[in-house]
């Protein structure tokens, strides 16, 4: 027997309501739990609003890194930039080579597809098979 589910109730709060809640919580020194009980909003939601809309005295994120981590991060970013530049150069070179082959084939009266199949103008010789005697 299948249980029927009730549709979830979705509540959208206006920006003005969020700002009022955050301002009141900061001015009165309310903790997020108390503000959530007063306004019947989840505590996690109140904490998120305080981080996003608050003055910054609550929930300010401070990132602490070692000097080596910062150096490694900048080194990896530089390396990524050089690899991307090399990839872009390779794409440009490939496009130029394809255009050159197309132009040369046009002047020779060949199709580029046929030329690519037999690049030196001769059919492929196949595998080398030694004589068995």
Q: What are the tens digits of pLDDT across the range 49-89?
A: 888 888 776 656 667 777 778 788 889 999 999 999 999 99
Structure-block tokens of residue 76: 């990896």
> What confidence tier does 120 reach under pLDDT thresholds 50, 70, 90?
low
Output the pTM of the full model: 0.40
> What confidence tier does 96 reach under pLDDT thresholds 50, 70, 90?
very high
Looking at residue 126, what is its pLDDT? Answer: 59
Q: CB burial class (10 A; 0-12, 13-18, 19+) of residue 43?
A: middle
What is the residue extent of each domain of the chain? 15-53, 73-117
Q: Which residues of 82-115 are buried (b: 16+ CB within 10 A; e: fewer)?
A: eeeeeeeeeeeeeeeeeeeeeeebeeeeeeeeeb
d(CA 15, CA 19): 6
């Amino acid at each position: 027997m299948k249980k029927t589910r009730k549709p979830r109730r979705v509540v959208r709060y206006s920006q003005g309501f969020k700002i009022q809640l955050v301002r009141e919580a900061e001015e009165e020194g309310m903790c997020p739990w108390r503000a959530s009980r007063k306004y019947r909003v989840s505590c996690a939601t109140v904490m998120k609003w305080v981080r996003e809309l608050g003055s910054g005295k609550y929930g300010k994120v401070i990132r602490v890194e070692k000097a080596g981590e910062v150096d490694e991060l900048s080194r990896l970013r530089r390396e990524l930039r050089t690899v991307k530049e090399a990839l872009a150069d390779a794409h440009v070179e490939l496009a130029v080579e394809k255009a050159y082959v197309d132009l040369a084939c046009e002047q020779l009266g060949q199709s580029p597809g046929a030329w690519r199949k037999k690049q030196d103008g001769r059919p492929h010789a196949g595998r080398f098979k030694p004589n068995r005697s």
